[in-house]
Amino acid sequence: MKIKDLIVLALVIILIIASSMSFIYADIFWFTGMGYIDVYFTILLTTVGFGSLLAAIFFVFAALNIKIAKRLALSKSERKKAKDLPFMIAAFFLAIILGSSFANWETLLKFLNPSSFAAADPIFGMNIGFYVFSLPFYQMIFGFLSTTIGLTIFLSFLFYLFHSDTFNKKETGLEEMEIDEQPLNEIKISADFSKIKKLVTPHMSILFAVMFFVAAFGFHIAQYGLLFNSGNVFYGAGFADLNVNLLFLNVGFYVSIIIGIVFILNLKIKRWRLPLEGVGALVAIMFIGTIAAVAVQALYVGPNEYNIQKPYIEMNIESTTAAYGLDTIENRIFPVSYDLTINDINQNKETIDNIRLWDWRPLKDTYTQLQLFRTYYDFSDIDIDRYMLNGDYKQVMLSPREMDINDLSSTAKTWVNEHLVYTHGYGIVMNPVDKVSEEGLPEFYIKDIPPKSDYDVLNIDRPEIYYGQSTSQYIITKTTTREFDYPSGDQNIYTEYEGTGGIPIADFLKKFVYSIRFGSVELLFSGSVTPDSKILLNRNIDERTRIIAPFLKYDYDPYIVLSEGRLYWILDAYTTTDMYPYSEPVYLERFGLLNYMRNSVKVVIDAYNGDVTYYVVDSSEPIIKTYMKIFPDLFKDFSEMPEGIKDHVRYPENIFSIQAAVYSTYHMEDAQVFYNKEDVWVTPNEIYRGSTRAMTPYYVTIKLPGALDEDFMLMIPFKPRGEDKQNMIGWMSANSDPDDYGKIIVYQFSKQELVYGPMQIESRIDQDTEISQLITLWSQSGSSVIRGNTLVIPIENSILYIEPLYLQATQEGSLPELKRVIVAYKNSVVMEETLGEAIAKIFGTETIKPPTPTIPSGDGTAEETLEQISQLYEKAQEALMTGDLSTYADYIEQIGALLK
């Protein structure tokens, strides 16, 4: 290799090392600033240390065997000439690959810090903790040992092949030239394999003996893997697994040990026939075992499957319900009685006042039109929460106004603007779920920039959002460039960051490190950076939490909370595993495969400072107990969470959806009912924007039957499986309030009594002539009719169905306006301008009614009535032409009254 090439290679190596070191330094600076440097070093040192150990084991083992091969194959004089360096280099790189591939820090640390579950598997009697914490480690070690032995055998055999004196040197021409001087296709190797066999027999016998001892270990741990079999009508080991496959695995275990012993004896026997016959016997046994299992399943189990598999089905049901926390569900019968009175309605005023009329989907469009103010802001999501306002418990919808630099104009997308100027979002928007203005728009509790509110408890002292869902780029604060705060009319207001977040970058080393980290020359040479400047990075809260604690699974829906004038994010985190025996697994794109799940942690992120705090909700949960042993300084107890934030903790939708999906099948506790899938439930559909969509869980404030007060709950209805079965069969709720947090109750309706499901209510709405005619007229007038989410609201022992109706003009930038509320109860379906009017129409006039439109009396002659109808019709047409659909509908109602 030429000197020039060596210089280039050296520079490349230096660049790679410098880049790697810059990432490590950057991480060290950041984790130190976050207060979690112990977490970083625990993961880093375990990964490097464990990887180095495995790499060293492989390299030493492989190198030792290459040296043994060299000693056995060559004479003393030939050993000096033999080149084993290529084999050592190959072993070195293979060691690095194996070390990095098998060195899973989490598997090792969980193995070293196990916790016990309160249950054992039903077959071997092993604690569930063995499968969660120990078995993955044994499987990893088995994989490493198998690969190590296999590669060592391969390298050793290659060494024998290329360094044995059984080469015919004359044919290869090796006496007269170096091998790299002769074209490869002209080299001929003629080896006497009988001599090679004689040389390699002692060495290879030892290696193969070790390989089959390792195989025996593999057969032993494979028996535990039977409990995760997905080949039955249920998940877990069945009759054939435990009576055939398990038997042959045990046979394989003992046969492998015998073969290993035979290979050791072959050191003296020096004949390959007996060991190879043993290997052939093992292969035959495994093949016979596979055929036998299939035959037993088809000929014995299949014809009488339920009776034979019944005990294993029961194991699957019991394990699955325990793994998803469904074994603590309280089942209640909901005796539907359609005898709701106006007095019952008034006694449940808090429930009525918190019925959510605003569907988050059109509400997001409304927020965007009314409260965005600038194109570089974004409402990433609409959240649902509850606040105590002047002694009243109010359910609200809210969204943070975040900065999205992707929406800056192309000319404004400069490094200075993206990293120094447009640094943060500003404030939140909040509205009650039930209030609607005369124009069909939300009434805001918090609005505008700077945020305004009529409630002192909702005043925001720190509206700046430096850490959020839409923030991704790094920023530098306290520079000579003015930092944009918020717009005020035609001008901009500027600010300077005063928070504790960020890393000082006054010294050259940190600027250099982060310039390499982000590939930014501007960061290194910018004249705007001052001695007080800080760099804020990892500002996306999802990314931020994953970097600190990558072993947790995180909810897809973080939500913003206002507490004591400051903004915080709450993000739910889960402990999961796919190693719970007999538990039915589910796959989610965000979480991967799992068959055990707990909402063990609540993560709180300060939207201004970026502080991240992990609060353990359930310290008795085994997996989080293990993580608390591994990272003792990472977690805090839930009792340490500030009360103002704790008031806004809610049961997360992610885990609730999974629990509902699993429970829809696993509520069938009877093995035969489960086997026949006689009573499978599904979540119903609803109509939104003219298309049918699956209902998702929704938050409600309701008073459960028999309860004294309302609770903030997450709920979802169920219906029987099948397109022809749309009746509602029950519903599931999870409590979010502190006293009963996480308590799940399932209410079931009588199967002998019809309870309308959401799609049946949708059909009844379509079949109502007045409602359908009005919807048709609105649609024909050029407006888009949006049917919002159908809410099932239990009140006393009755069910109300609520569906808001929105109108949105087809012109670009038009607002969705809430124009009608549909209420269904018993056999009545009514549509009115407000929820109060609709309820009053069904139950009477004792509720507070908003003013009703003046309807001309029908007294007088037929000619006078016809004249009134004609005049009203002309006014209705004028209103329709101007797009005033609300007035148009009023006139149509007046015409209807006169016709009656």
Q: What is the DSSP string of 603-615?
A: EEEETTT--EEEE
**Does residue 97 surpass a pLDDT of 70?**
yes
Q: Tally Cβ neighbours within 10 Å of residue 151.
A: 19
Query: Is the separation of the CB atoms in 695 and 686 below 8 Å?
Result: yes
Three-state DSSP at 753 gives coil
Q: What is the pLDDT of residues 722-766, one digit of tens each?
A: 988 999 999 999 999 988 999 999 999 987 888 999 999 999 999
Tokens linked to 821: 């509320």
Please give the Cα distance from 252 to 287 (Å, whole number): 11
Tokens linked to 73: 């194959």
Report the predicted TM-score, pTM, of the whole model to 2 decimal places. 0.87
Pairing of strands 691-694, 744-748: unpaired
Query: Is the separation of the CB atoms in 503 and 30 below 8 Å?
Result: yes
Sign of the dihedral defined by the CA atoms of residues 703, 363, 782, 836, in that order: positive
Q: What is the pLDDT of residue 6?
A: 74
Please give the Cα distance from 631 to 676 (Å, whole number): 46
Q: What is the DSSP string of 13-28?
A: HHHHHHHHHHHHHHHH
Q: What is the pLDDT of residue 887?
A: 65
Mean of the pLDDT values across residues 85-105? 93
Please give the Cα distance from 428 to 444 (Å, whole number): 11
Please state whether the peptide bond connecting residue 450 to the residue before it is cis, i.e. omega within 30 degrees of 0: yes
Query: Is the separation of the CB atoms in 646 and 687 below 8 Å?
Result: no
Phi, psi (rounded to 5 degrees) for 874: -65, -45
β-bridge partners, 606: 568
* Cα dist from 793 to 174, 351, 637, 743, 799, whole Å: 90, 9, 35, 19, 6
Mean of the pLDDT values across residues 86-113? 95
Please give the Cα distance from 540 to 404 (Å, whole number): 12
Please give the Cα distance from 23 to 513 (Å, whole number): 8
Tokens linked to 575: 């402990």
Tokens linked to 887: 């007035």
Confidence class for position 845, pLDDT limits 50, 70, 90: low
Which residue in 732, 431, 387, 399 sits closest to 557, CA to CA? 399
Please give the Cα distance from 441 to 371 (Å, whole number): 12
Average pLDDT value over all residues in the chain: 89
**Does residue 358 surpass a pLDDT of 80?**
yes
Q: What is the pLDDT of residues 391-407, one digit of tens each?
A: 888 999 999 999 999 88
Mean of the pLDDT values across residues 244-266? 96
The secondary element (H helix, E strand) that includes residue 291 is helix 273-295
Residue corresponding to tokens 């012993």: 261
Pairing of strands 744-748, 635-637: unpaired
Q: What is the pLDDT of residues 546-556, one digit of tens each?
A: 999 999 999 99
Three-state DSSP at 487 gives strand
**Does residue 9 surpass a pLDDT of 80?**
no
Considering only CA atoms, give the Rg of the chain.
36
Pairing of strands 452-453, 791-795: unpaired
- CB within 8 A of 608, min separation 6: which ones? 462, 464, 465, 466, 467, 499, 501, 566, 567
Confidence class for position 12, pLDDT limits 50, 70, 90: confident
- CB within 8 A of 488, min separation 6: which ones? 449
Single-letter code of the amino acid located at 525: F
**Does residue 891 surpass a pLDDT of 80?**
no
DSSP 8-state assignment for residue 235: S
Confidence class for position 846, pLDDT limits 50, 70, 90: very low
3-state secondary structure 544-558: HHHHHCCCCEECCCC
Q: What is the pLDDT of residue 170?
A: 32
The secondary element (H helix, E strand) that includes residue 560 is strand 559-563
**Does residue 186 surpass a pLDDT of 60?**
no
Mean of the pLDDT values across residues 519-529? 89
The residue that leads in pLDDT, 160 or 677, is 677
Q: What is the pLDDT of residue 799?
A: 93
DSSP 8-state assignment for residue 402: E
Range with lowest mean pLDDT among 259-268, 602-611, 874-883: 874-883
Please give the Cα distance from 426 to 401 (Å, whole number): 6
Please give the Cα distance from 159 to 626 (Å, whole number): 46
Which residue in 203, 278, 290 sits closest to 245, CA to CA? 290
**Does residue 517 surpass a pLDDT of 50?**
yes
Q: What is the pLDDT of residue 213?
A: 97
Mean of the pLDDT values across residues 261-289? 92
Q: What is the pLDDT of residue 362?
A: 92
Q: What is the pLDDT of residues 435-461, one digit of tens each?
A: 999 899 999 999 999 999 999 999 999
DSSP 8-state assignment for residue 540: B
Q: What is the pLDDT of residue 16?
A: 78
Share of the chain above pLDDT 70, in %: 91
DSSP 8-state assignment for residue 563: E
Mean of the pLDDT values across residues 710-728? 93
Three-state DSSP at 156 gives helix
Q: What is the pLDDT of residue 803?
A: 95
Residue corresponding to tokens 């909370």: 561
Q: What is the pLDDT of residues 50-76, one digit of tens each?
A: 999 999 999 999 999 998 888 877 766
Please give the Cα distance from 246 to 719 (Å, whole number): 41
**Does residue 387 surpass a pLDDT of 90?**
yes
* Cα dist from 444 to 88, 460, 550, 712, whole Å: 72, 15, 38, 21
- CB within 8 A of 114, min separation 6: which ones? 129, 130, 132, 133, 134, 626
The residue that leads in pLDDT, 299 or 519, is 299
- Burial tier of 222 (Cβ tally within 10 Å: 0-12, 13-18, 19+): middle
Range with lowest mean pLDDT among 205-219, 593-607, 690-704, 835-849: 835-849
Q: What is the pLDDT of residue 812?
A: 77
Measure the CA dihedral 100/102/106/109, to 10°.
-110
Single-letter code of the amino acid located at 879: A
Alpha helix stretches (DSSP H) within 296-375? 305-323, 342-347, 349-353, 360-371
The residue that leads in pLDDT, 157 or 430, is 430
**Does residue 720 surpass a pLDDT of 70?**
yes
The residue that leads in pLDDT, 779 or 193, is 779
The secondary element (H helix, E strand) that includes residue 568 is strand 566-577
Q: Where in the chain are the domains? A: 55-191, 214-321, 324-351+673-851, 352-540, 541-649, 853-900
Mean of the pLDDT values across residues 142-153? 97
- CB within 8 A of 409, min separation 6: which ones? none
Phi, psi (rounded to 5 degrees) for 611: -60, 140
Q: Tally Cβ neighbours within 10 Å of residue 307.
A: 12
HSE at residue 139, side-chain half, CA atoms within 13 A, is 14
Query: Is the separation of the CB atoms in 897 and 858 below 8 Å?
Result: yes
Confidence class for position 858, pLDDT limits 50, 70, 90: very low
Mean of the pLDDT values across residues 19-38? 91
